[in-house]
A = this chain, B = another copy of it.
């Protein structure tokens, strides 16, 4: 909560980077939640905290956009980035919340693959944000996130097929399908951020 003492001259690039770093934290809490002996209540509590911190950063960006006369790139693009990053956090928070609320104890190992995709996306996004300043090396980032989203999509369909295979009780299928779909939406949300970055880069070039 040290955010309250944010120095006034923090740049848009710093704030967007900070926002993406919250996603690295969120993705790693998600990985913790999936571990076999996880303390669901404790991880969920820390996730709520991370989500709250992410919200503060989002508000700081919006406030800065509204109070700044000349922004480094289009106002609406900064909004789109900030809210895109915020959406990822919300999706990851939702997954953790579902695992807690639905009292799911046995998660199929395949879900870890999706969380690894999320962790990789979070690292790539957080490394890409500072590059918005120079508009350099962004192409590799958005290509790689699109590739990861494709892999995640294939993985997703296979997990659903497995859930439908008859191996699980139907009520468990319902719970796990919800969780699996929210994981995929989180990956999609990362792709949306990457697409926004691509559009900004194309405009600025």
- Chain A residues within CB distance 8 Å of chain B: 66, 97-98, 101-103, 157-158, 160-161, 164, 166, 170-171, 173-175, 177-178, 202
Query: Judging by beta carbons under 8 Å apart, are A174 and B170 in contact?
Result: yes
CA distance A141 to B18 in the complex (A): 31
CA distance A170 to B177 in the complex (A): 14
Q: Give the shortest distance, in Å, between A67 (CB) and chain B (any CB).
A: 12
Q: Give the shortest distance, in Å, between A106 (CB) and chain B (any CB).
A: 14
Residues of chain B lying within 8 A (CB to CB) of residue A175 = 164
Q: Give the shortest distance, in Å, between A165 (CB) and chain B (any CB).
A: 8
Residues of chain B lying within 8 A (CB to CB) of residue A170 = 170-171, 174
Q: Which residue, of A103, A158, A164, A173, has the highest number of chain B Cβ atoms within 10 A?
A: A164
Q: Give the shortest distance, in Å, between A117 (CB) and chain B (any CB).
A: 19
Chain B minimum-CB-distance residue to A168: B171
Q: Which residue, of A97, A158, A170, A171, has the highest number of chain B Cβ atoms within 10 A?
A: A171
User: Can you report 17 A-B residue pairs in the complex whose CB atoms are below 8 A from each other?
Assistant: A66-B202, A97-B157, A98-B157, A101-B157, A101-B158, A101-B161, A102-B160, A102-B161, A102-B164, A103-B161, A160-B178, A164-B171, A164-B174, A164-B175, A170-B170, A170-B174, A174-B177
Residues of chain B lying within 8 A (CB to CB) of residue A102 = 160-161, 164
CA distance A166 to B169 in the complex (A): 11
CA distance A178 to B161 in the complex (A): 11
Residues of chain B lying within 8 A (CB to CB) of residue A171 = 164, 166, 170, 173
